[in-house]
Structure 1
Amino acid sequence: MPAPYANRTGQPCWADLMTSDLPRAREFYTRLFGWTVSDSGSEYGNYILFRKGDADVAGMGSQEPGSPLPDAWTTYLSVTDADAAVASSRAAGATVLAEPMTVGTMGRMAILMDPTGAPFGVWQADEFTGFDVFGEAGSPVWHELNTRGYSAALDFYTQVFGWEPAVLSDTDDFRYSTIGAGHDMVAGVFDAAEHLPDSVPSHWQLYLGVPDVHAAAATVTELGGTVIREPWTAEFGTFALVTDPTGALFVLGSVDEPHAEEKAIEEETEEDADLPIG
């Protein structure tokens, strides 16, 4: 579907990968998802746009040489004023990792760490508004905050970004809220305090859509990545937790094929369109 979410203030509008091995990551993601790439040129540090057909779906840049940071995907939230968002975030307990900067004529960005330790970005759009598709194979299908401070995280994002969380579950075993109403849900917040290994901090997690999670997980291994958690099926689909060859974590999420009845209707419509008129 087209991405009506890209300009919704406070909601995810983009995701990009910072990698220590640009050529290897480029080969991995283009082969796994069938993406093509567009190099933005030296003016933008040779930042790469991953594309699905004519649609921008994600980005990628190189880690600074000698950077101690792990390779990782970053989720960006849409804002109307990056400087104001940074000031509000700082006042609410966030740490600023990269001060607001203008990216040519594309927009203005900053990188922060929320009060529970999860890094994220903010994006103030100018010419570039974010991903062009959402919820399709080869595009982002979900963004999820796995946090060790569930209540603090909800308070922070509600205060700074105007979230109106909807509680999906509130038990000691599974505590989860969603962002976006009904079929427009675009992100979730998971109370991961009792689930994350001690060495894993709070983090935003990107879900990328595939038509067959089992097949895609096998391809991840063939391309040098790692399957951290084998495919599992839950209420909302089939998923697999994986990393790319340099360790950047993401989730494969199933994208349903049209139901049989819908396919039949589409086929009948196509046949009718081929009939002569008159």
Structure 2
Amino acid sequence: MKLTSVTTDGPCWVELGTTDPVAARAFYRELFGWREDDAARPADGDYVQMLLEDTPVAAISPRYGPRQPTAWTVSFAVADADATAARVEKAGGSLLKEPTDVLDHGRFAVAADPSHAVFILWQARTFKGAGVFNEPGSLGWVELVTRDPSGALAFYPAVFDWSVSPSDYYTQWGVAGQDFGGMPMTDDRSPEAPSYWLPYFSCADADLTVSRAVALGADVLVPASGMPGGRRTAVLRDPQGAAFAVYHAPPVG
């Protein structure tokens, strides 16, 4: 991801809703070196920010209802949550939660695109989002996995000010001239397959991170593989069932 700080219309935060927040926090602590922000946690089981050293990078919380899947959710920074929520509905998406204030931290809405991939709109006030990107243990890319790539190409640019760099195999999303994510252009997924946003966390060594994750109880969904430019990625499922990916890119220059 070329973004290095929170940028309007770009990804700004990721949070995990899970059946066992305590076990999930232990897993990601061991995998990425995160630690809990104890000062911001009222009690075990509540919404907990995770820090990389002293910088917020993600949150882990219980699921908010029995029908909520155990999954990571990507948040996108917006200037106006209400106006963006209106664009979501106009473009054919839906709102799972109407725009709501979170104390003085910001205002958010939970939305879904027409194929039901869920994401969050975040209008920051005192809390901007992640304090670091692209460093090992922090968000490095986001990817839309969808059974309707053509619909996504129409929907997201109508909601956000994104640039689109399509190809036959993979589309890249960008904002302010910087790519931050993508979308496989496959159309061979079954109609029942869920659509979702997949976070990629940067790491110093993809193969080592996969081995560590497996030792901690994760499953490998897509083994570590090489990509052009020396990049290496893998897709994993944590012990509670949430999918995520890891990503290593060699230094530029």
Query: How many equivalent residue pairs?
Result: 250
1:186 to 176, 180, 185: 180
Q: 1:230 to 1:175 in 2, by over 3 A?
A: closer
Deviations 1:101-144 (A, max 9, x none): 11111101111110122111100000011111111111011011
User: Partner amino acid for 1:205?
Assistant: L
Deviations 1:239-277 (A, max 9, x none): 111011011000011142577xxxxxxxxxxxxxxxxxx
Q: Please say which of residues 143-152 and 102-111 is displaced more in the overlay.
A: 143-152
Q: Percent identity?
A: 34
User: Partner amino acid for 2:62?
Assistant: S
Give unmatched runs, 5+ long, in structure 2: none
Q: So what's the TM-score if we normalise by structure 2?
A: 0.91
User: Partner amino acid for 1:122?
Assistant: L
Off by >3 Å, runs of 4+ in structure 1: 1-5, 196-199
- Distance in 2 between the 1:103 and 1:201 partners? 29
SS for the counterpart of 2:207 is helix
- Distance in 1 between the 2:48 and 2:156 partners? 29
SS for the counterpart of 2:28 is helix
CA contact (8 A) 1:137 1:255 kept: no
User: Partner amino acid for 2:232?
Assistant: T
SS for the counterpart of 2:127 is coil
Point out the structure with the larger helix share: 1
How far off its partner does 1:199 sit?
A: 4.4
How far off its partner does 1:83 sit?
A: 1.4
1:74 aligns with 2:69: no
User: Partner amino acid for 1:74?
Assistant: T
- Distance in 1 between the 2:181 and 2:76 partners? 11
How far off its partner does 1:17 sit?
A: 0.5
1:176 to 162, 171, 176: 171
Q: So what's the TM-score if we normalise by structure 1?
A: 0.83
- Distance in 1 between the 2:3 and 2:185 partners? 27
2:195 aligned residue: 202
2:154 aligned residue: 155
Q: RMSD in angstroms over aligned alpha carbons?
A: 2.2
2:103 aligned residue: 104
User: Partner amino acid for 2:49?
Assistant: L
1:254 aligned residue: 248
Q: 1:90 to 1:181 in 2, by over 3 A?
A: closer
1:227 aligned residue: 220
